[in-house]
Chains A and B, each alone.
Chain A
């Protein structure tokens, strides 16, 4: 981590410090601050809202218990994402990674406030992500969605950087072959990267 990262991470570190002293207000602030990105991250693993909420709460329950042991070796977001990833995998083992039946899903899978353009973008993305493995979806989310570096993704997924690179590479190749290009274009079918 460079100085810029440390500065940007300072508010989260402060919240963790307060949590380690039993400050529930700090827990609430951190919870709300990460809820959106954890929701989206976990939605790449499962489509069940009850499982997503359970995993987020498991994650923050652990963060509450272990806040005092955070030594700042990584960014708080990397630490939290790592916990959420492991909790998510455990939940998948318990519940299975199959989505619930459509009739038990909320009425609208697409938020009502979505613009047509966003809805189209979601559909476009969904077609691609459906073809990826859970590990590949996770890497794509962490790199493109959350903005983590290769090293950080390796810490989160507890695997070598080379493995992350390989997953990212294969995911990108698959997406390029599967996803239609920009509006009106046909998919580009190529087996290998440039």
Chain B
């Protein structure tokens, strides 16, 4: 690493001081020091001349004609109608990011709405029952039947058909089926007796709803 020599360091210092000396915000000491350096450094003197010229050029009035009186008139008219201007400013300030965010929120709202409608229109009954809820009422004339394990499916179907019964539940953990008459005109008591008398039926009891 090489360090600048004293004169180079002075040139760096002069370079940094020039704008502030030119605009008058540098300290008196800074100004005096720069003046002394410029007297002995040709390169910095050239640079300072260019900087002075730059400052002079920058201080020229704008070359774009904009009438202050017309502008002020428009501003005062704008102050008299603040509401629409406020709306205009707000609408102009919304950049693409804001618009995209609004679009995303709207899309989400639409999605949630559509999902809500779908759930609303679907069957609202839950797939579970709490203990405090009443059990669904048993079908009228329902009988709980436990067939023998040796009973064939054909015999079971034939029996149900003969007694005009249909399976409405089961089998449960102990192999019991709940059957109900397909015809409301049939007498449950008679059906029950016929079931008990049938070979291969181990148990037949009427289903009594809980009180």
Contacts and interface: CB of A to CB of B under 8 A. Distances in A.
Interface of A: 24, 27-28, 31-32, 35-36, 39-40, 43, 47, 49, 52-53, 56-58, 60-61, 64, 90, 93-94, 106, 109-111, 114, 118, 121-122, 124-125, 128, 140-141, 143-145, 147, 149, 168, 172, 175-176, 179, 181-182, 188, 193-194
13 contacts: A28-B76, A32-B68, A47-B64, A52-B66, A57-B74, A143-B19, A144-B54, A149-B25, A176-B50, A179-B54, A193-B12, A194-B12, A194-B44
Interface of B: 8, 11-12, 14-15, 19-20, 22-25, 43-44, 46-47, 49-51, 53-66, 68, 70-72, 74-76, 78-79, 85, 89, 92-93, 95
Q: State the main secondary structure of chain B at its contact with A.
A: helix
B25 A147 contact: yes
Nearest to B43: A194
A177 B81 CA distance: 50
B75 A60 contact: yes
Given A43-B62, A64-B79, A32 B54 contact: no
A121 B49 contact: no
Contacts of A111: 61, 63, 65
Contacts of A90: 92-93
B57 A53 contact: no
B68 A31 contact: yes
Given A32-B68, A194-B8, A57 B56 contact: no
A172 B48 CA distance: 12
A122 B24 contact: no
A110 B63 contact: yes
B72 A28 contact: yes
Given A144-B54, A181-B46, A194-B12, A56 B71 contact: yes
A124 B74 contact: no
Given A31-B72, A176-B47, A182-B49, A124 B64 contact: no
B71 A53 contact: yes
A124 B53 contact: yes
Contact of A125 (B12, B47, B58): B58
A61 B92 CA distance: 15
Contact of B23 (A49, A60, A147, A188): A147
A143 B23 contact: yes
A128 B50 CA distance: 12
Given A144-B19, A182-B50, A194-B15, A43 B71 contact: no
A38 B89 CA distance: 21
Given A147-B23, A181-B46, A125 B57 contact: yes
A98 to B, nearest CB: 15
Contacts of B8: 194
A125 B54 contact: yes
Contacts of B19: 143-144, 168, 172
A188 B85 CA distance: 51
A24 B75 CA distance: 11
Q: Which of B8, B15, B59, B71 has the largest count of A CB atoms less than 10 A from its CB?
A: B71
A29 B201 CA distance: 110
A192 to B, nearest CB: 10
Contacts of A118: 60
Contacts of B68: 31-32, 35-36
